[in-house]
Amino acid sequence: MKFCVKLRKSSTETYDLLKKVYGDECPSHTQVFKWFKRFKERREEIGDDQRPSNPSTSKTDANNEKVSEIVRQNRCLNIRAVAELMNIDKKTVRQILHNNFNMKKVCLKMVPRLLTPEQMEI
């Protein structure tokens, strides 16, 4: 494809040449046009550009401890209530409870997934 760009072939001509050579194995028309455009812009990679991502500011150690404290004080709170108390997203609270504390919801109470004999007596 780079060769066709350097020969100043159009993207349609390039697609037709690829179709002749590779037949059914040829990339789609849309994909060939995207790659052709990138090579025409003198780019070397055909992969997607990296997108900037915002760092997570809700999953801090302080928030982890606060969520843990709230849940241990009142196990009847649901995820929405904890999220409102913490002023963070419900999805973040769910991830903190699930990933950091290995907890899941059982009969309206947040409990550790694997109960120890001491916890079963409570």
**Residues facing residue 110 across a β-bridge:** 105
One-letter amino acid identity for 58?
S
For the chain, the average pLDDT equals 79
Residue ranges per structural domain of the chain: 2-40, 61-112
Buried b (16+ CB within 10 A) or exposed e, 66-99: bbeebbeeeeebebeebbeebebeeebbbebbee
For the stretch 36-53, pLDDT in tens is 888 888 877 666 666 666
Q: Which tens digit of pLDDT belongs to each residue from 86-112? A: 888 888 888 888 888 777 765 555 556
Which class is 61-112 in CATH?
mainly alpha
**What are the tens digits of pLDDT across the range 17-32?**
989 999 988 888 898 8
Running DSSP on this structure, what letter comes out for residue 28? P
Distance CA 38, CA 36 (A): 5
Position 16 scores a pLDDT of 92
Please indicate, yes or no, whether the overall pTM of this predicted structure exceeds 0.85: no
- Dihedral, 63, 64, 69, 72 alpha carbons, nearest 10: 140
Phi and psi, residue 106, nearest 5°: -135, 120
Q: What is the reported pLDDT for 95?
A: 86
